[in-house]
Amino acid sequence: MATQHSRSVARLMMAPAVVLLLGWMLVPLTMTLYFSFKKYLPLRGGDLGWVGFDNYVRFVSSSSFWPAVQATLVIVGGVLVITVVLGILLAMLLDQPMWGQGVVRILVIAPFFVMPTVSALVWKNMFMDPVNGLLAHLWRFFGAEPISWLSEASMTSIIMIVSWQWLPFATLILLTAIQSLDSEQLEAAEMDGAPVLKRFYHIVLPHLSRAITIVILIQTIFLLSIFAEIFVTTGGAFGTRTLTYLIFQRVLESQNVGLGSAGGVYAIILANIVAIFLMRIVGKNLDA
């Protein structure tokens, strides 16, 4: 198939897409790099010239930097643990033959189709509102004092919202992985004297390991940049200011484009480290 001729035609055909993607990526990247080395305050004098690595140093040495890193890690870690654990359980549940399987599976995937802004608003107003929220009603039903979720348990709330959004993704990937497990392996383990939990630990979990890694890496890339959920709910208050949100605040609230861009470059480096691992694993998966 792949003659010299067909290869060059293929290159030609792919060129527009490659050029477009490259431009899409390169222009903002170059601009971010460009601004990160400038003192650029749009409302306070505009472009004030080159400052070298000043912005990079200032971004890291700011008192909000380490709390932001911590908040990011807590949110990413929390969501990963919840989605992977619940994802495995849900996937095993959905793998069981049951009535209305197709409908149930679509329902499980549904949260993934809801826009982050919308789901955050729904959670904020319908569930977590301390007066009218469903959770407040539930608390009152049991005679407890409703929690004002977003201020008292801000981190937990955001982790809950984001987990709800990402659980379908994890479930779906893990479900396909579980379905590819050879049932004879489980039967063999059963004959070999492994009870249910040991079968899960020795057979199912190792079989899922690659799918779990992929879920973790893909989610990490997207979770590092969650923004809407924080913007709509707490607005970065109550210790929920993540790295992404800090960059946003530096650029738009403090009107310091240079400082924000430097933060952006840090974020790029971080995301790429994760991406390299992901490419390797996915690549290995495709080779096998």
Partner 1 sequence: MGRIQLKSVTKSFGDVQVIPPLDLTIEDGEFTVFVGPSGCGKSTLLRLIAGLEDITSGSIDIDGSDATDVPPAKRGLAMVFQSYALYPHMTVRKNIAFPLRMAKLDQAEIDKRVEGAASVLNLTDYLDRRPGQLSGGQRQRVAIGRAIVREPAAFLFDEPLSNLDAALRVGMRLEISELHERLATTMIYVTHDQVEAMTMADKIVVLQAGVIEQVGSPLELYRTPRNLFVAGFIGSPKMNFIEGPEAAKHGAQTIGIRPEHITVSETEGEWSGVVSVSEHLGSDTFFHVHETGLAETITVRADGEVGFRHGDRIHMTPRADVIHRFDAKGLRIE
Of the pair 151, 209, the CB lying nearest partner 1 is at 209
Is residue 189 a contact residue for partner 1 (CB under 8 A)?
yes
Candidate list 17, 43, 131, 191; residue touching partner 1; CB under 8 A? 191
Taking the complex as a whole, the smallest distance from the CB of residue 214 to partner 1 amounts, in Å, to 16
Q: What is the 3-state secondary structure (H, E, C) of the chain?
A: CCCHHHHHHHHHHHHHHHHHHHHHHHHHHHHHHHHHCEEEECCCCEEEEECCCHHHHHHHHCCCHHHHHHHHHHHHHHHHHHHHHHHHHHHHHHHCCCCCHHHHHHHHHHHHHCCHHHHHHHHHHHHCCCCCCHHHHHHHHCCCCCCCHHHHCHHHHHHHHHHHHHHHHHHHHHHHHHHCCCHHHHHHHHHCCCCHHHHHHHHHHHHHHHHHHHHHHHHHHHHCCCCHHHHHHCCCCCCCCCHHHHHHHHHHHCCCHHHHHHHHHHHHHHHHHHHHHHHHHHHHHHHC
CB of 201 to partner 1, least distance (A): 11
- Stretch of 124-132, 134-142, 167-175, 195-203 lying at the interface with partner 1 (CB under 8 A): 195-203
Q: How far apart, in whole angstroms, are the C-alpha atoms of residue 212 and residue 271?
A: 19
Residue among 190, 228, 268, 271 that touches partner 1 (CB under 8 A):
190
> Smallest distance, Å, CB 220 to partner 1?
24
Considering the complex, state which of residue 143 and residue 193 has its C-beta at the smaller distance from partner 1: 193
- φ, ψ for residue 40 (rounded to 5)? -135, 105
Build a one-symbol-per-residue string for 132-171: x at contacts with partner 1 by CB under 8 A, - elsewhere: ----------------------------------------
Distances (CA, A) of 89 to 129, 195, 205, 269: 29, 17, 11, 34
Binding residue (CB under 8 A) for partner 1 from 69, 194, 270, 281? 194
Closer residue to partner 1 in complex, CB, 101/151: 101
Shortest Cβ 180–partner 1 spacing (Å): 11
Q: Which is nearer to partner 1, 145 or 184 (CB)?
A: 184
Nearest CB to partner 1, comparing residues 26 and 196: 196
Residues 168-187 that bind partner 1 (CB under 8 A): 182, 184-185, 187
What count of Cα atoms within 13 Å lies in the side-chain half-sphere of residue 157? 31
Closest to partner 1 by CB, 175 or 203: 203
Binding mask 199-228 for partner 1 (x = CB under 8 A): ---xx--xx-x-------------------
- Site size toward partner 1 (CB under 8 A) is 18
The binder of partner 1 chosen from 4, 141, 193, 286 (CB under 8 A): 193
Reported as half-sphere exposure (CB side, CA atoms, 13 A), residue 55 has a value of: 29
The minimum distance between CB 187 and partner 1, in angstroms, equals: 5
The site for partner 1 (CB under 8 A) is made up of 182, 184-185, 187-195, 198, 202-203, 206-207, 209
